[in-house]
Structure 1
Amino acid sequence: MTPSAAGRALKLAGVVVLAALMLCACAHSSDSRTHDALLEIPVPKTVTVTTSKVAGLGKILADSHGRTLYMFPPDAGGRVTCTGPCAGTWPPLVIASGNKPTSAAGVNPLDLGTLADPNTGASVVTYGGYPLYRYAGDLAAGTANGQGLYLNGGPWYALNPDMQPVTTPPGK
């Protein structure tokens, strides 16, 4: 590579890095209390936790779209430990701060709560004190592709309405 070509390549790399930094700054400048910082979608003011039957797992908690909700044992003690890239794979079930989640039939409303979400500044919906998450690999309602996966420092389990993690492998 000639010295002038190397200089142009270096300048181009600098421009790419600068553009990436500017995009990151813009993404973080949005109102994190009204948008999911990772997905840039509005944080809902209402959330309903319901149940769904998944083959091999039985009756488990689901969001209002029928997507499986998971718990992460390292969150014991009522804290959200899945942040940053982890939350991209396991998006927490969030609700706008100051709002309360609702329950459908089969879900005990007394077991629902919220915790501050370090990812968005909103609130994460909890059940029995455990933050609830979805799995990015669950592309359709009634699937549980995240069941039993060991990622981000621990296993991920669907949660049944009795606040028990379902440790059965999927499809068994």
Structure 2
Amino acid sequence: MRKSKLIVIVGLLALAAAACGSSSPKTTSHPRTTSSSTTKPTVVVKTSTIKPYGTVLVNTAGHALYVFAPDKATKVTCTGGCAKIWPPLALPSDAKTKATGAVKASLLESDPNPSGGRVVTYNHWPLYAYVADTKPGVAHGQGLKLSGGYWYLMSPAGAVIKSKKSSSSSSGYRY
């Protein structure tokens, strides 16, 4: 009796092992696997309110996006060491852009990056993050003169926001 129980258990284990082995090819050809591999990655540009500047463009993580005045629209000039401090919003070759919030999809494009790949642009301005903006809702780079030029936030209307953060809320310096 004991021997027959052992044979039944061994038989069931062998059957279970065979069933597991035969299902793995079916799993790799499952339609979900195929569809997820054909889904393009997406670079999202959205909006957020950052005081005292109002509604500005931000990346997926909610970090402010800036434009670099020397870029003069459509030309990426922040490369090398500059790009380590101000990383461009890169668009991988297989990715697409997505506008959410008040972002206008018609203003969202990309331009070649001299360092390789493409950079997401808004109203023809290449977009960058700033490494000192370590959390969403801050814009420490606004109005800074670094890496050979001024850095500004971008409004969802496509306008460069040139106001500087002031030490007093009553005075707003614009240039």
Choose which of 99, 102, 105 in structure 2 pairs with 1:106: 102
Which amino acid in structure 2 is aligned with residue 52 of structure 1? S
SS at match of 1:156: strand
Choose which of 83, 87, 90 in structure 1 pairs with 2:86: 90
Q: Deviations over 1:37-66 (max 9, x none)?
A: xxxxxxx93110000111110000000110
Q: Deviations over 1:85-131 (max 9, x none)?
A: 00000000011125321100200000000011222x22100000000
Match of 1:157 in 2: 152
1:1-172 aligned at under 5 Å gives the runs 45-119=41-115, 121-170=116-165, 172=169
Which amino acid in structure 2 is aligned with residue 67 of structure 1? H
In the aligned structure 2, how far is the partner of 1:63 from the partner of 1:77? 19
Q: Which structure has more helix as a fraction of its residues?
A: 2
Q: Detail structure 1 runs of 4+ shifted over 2 Å in the superposition.
A: none
Indicate if the aligned counterparts of 2:74 and 2:124 stay in contact, CA closer than 8 A.
yes
SS at match of 1:114: strand
TM-score normalized by structure 1? Answer: 0.71
Identity level (%): 40
TM-score normalized by structure 2? Answer: 0.69
SS at match of 1:68: coil
Which amino acid in structure 1 is aligned with residue 75 of structure 2? R
Q: 1:77 Cα deviation (Å)?
A: 3.9
Larger radius of gyration between Structure 1 and Structure 2: 2
Unmatched tracts of structure 2, length 5 or more: 1-39, 170-175
In the aligned structure 2, how far is the partner of 1:131 from the partner of 1:45? 19
Q: Alignment length, in residue pairs?
A: 128
In the aligned structure 2, how far is the partner of 1:70 from the partner of 1:89? 12
